Amino acid sequence: MGDMRALRNIVVLTGAGVSAESGIDTFRSAGGLWEQHRVEDVATPEGFARDPDLVLRFYDMRRAAIQTRQPNAAHLALARLEAEWPGELLLVTQNVDDLHERAGSRRLIHMHGEHLNAWCSACDARHGWTGPLIDRPPCPACGVPALRPDVVWFGEMPYRMDEIYAAIARADLFVSIGTSGAVYPAAGFVHTAREAGARCLELNLERSQGSGWFHESRLGPASELVPAWVEELLR
């Protein structure tokens, strides 16, 4: 990387673009999820309170769809990096699909939650969940039919932020892959990483909103850029 600082600790942030080539819709692209649904209706606690059936159906459909999709070369390359990198690597994903873990990634934080989890708003328990929620199944822990998708909506606090910021503070390299940089706090990680002295690299189909904050931007499909970058690091 041509840096003075030794490269040891890496934090990778991924977004919907890393799963696009697996056939999972992104949010903000043409034809993406936010063109088909109003964000305020399906991705806020207020929208859920107003029309729970609409929201549960939206997530039931996506939960079913991801189970028919497979990890692509980008997910696999990131799992390979975790297995072979001699330093510290933390993968932070905004994605709610499970393609990173199915590709083999283990040090992984789902900051916006997981499609394959249901969360009981009565007793706070979380359960692995592959089926629908629209028919209001009882919570396996307390029996109350109060399960919702375990995903982070606008206005809710993303998960495990302390661990994420601690890893960014130690990072020598911060890499953002396939995210538009439109949603905070994830969009602000590049600022934090720069302040901590990390080199910042973006891999994306097109420039993200915060592109100017990165030292380097490589533009192209994740299935090509990510394996090439991993190869370069492990060489």
Active site residues: 112
The burial class, CB within 10 Å (0-12 / 13-18 / 19+), for 157 is: exposed
Residue closer to ligand BJW, measured from CB, 10 or 152: 152
Residues in the interface with ligand BJW (CB under 6 A) total 35
- Nearest approach in angstroms of CB 143 to ligand BJW is 26
The residue from 100, 112, 147, 174 that contacts ligand BJW (CB under 6 A) is 112
Pick one of 12, 21, 120, 189: the residue that binds ligand BJW (CB under 6 A). Answer: 21
Check binding of 22 to ligand BJW (CB under 6 A). no
Decide whether 70 or 154 has the Cβ nearer to ligand BJW. Answer: 154
In angstroms, what is the minimal distance from the CB of 137 to ligand BJW? 20
Give the whole-angstrom CA distance, residue 4 versus residue 180: 30
Distance from C-alpha of 149 to C-alpha of 142, rounded to nearest angstrom: 17
Asked if residue 91 lies in contact with residue 76, where contact means CB atoms within 8 angstroms, the answer is: no
Farthest-apart Cα atoms in the chain, separation: 58
157 makes contact with ligand BJW (CB under 6 A): yes
Residue 186 is given by DSSP the state: G
10 Å CB burial of residue 148 (0-12, 13-18, 19+) is middle
What residue ranges bind ligand BJW (CB under 6 A)? 15-17, 20-21, 26-29, 32, 43, 94, 96, 112, 151-158, 178-180, 182-185, 204-206, 208, 221-222
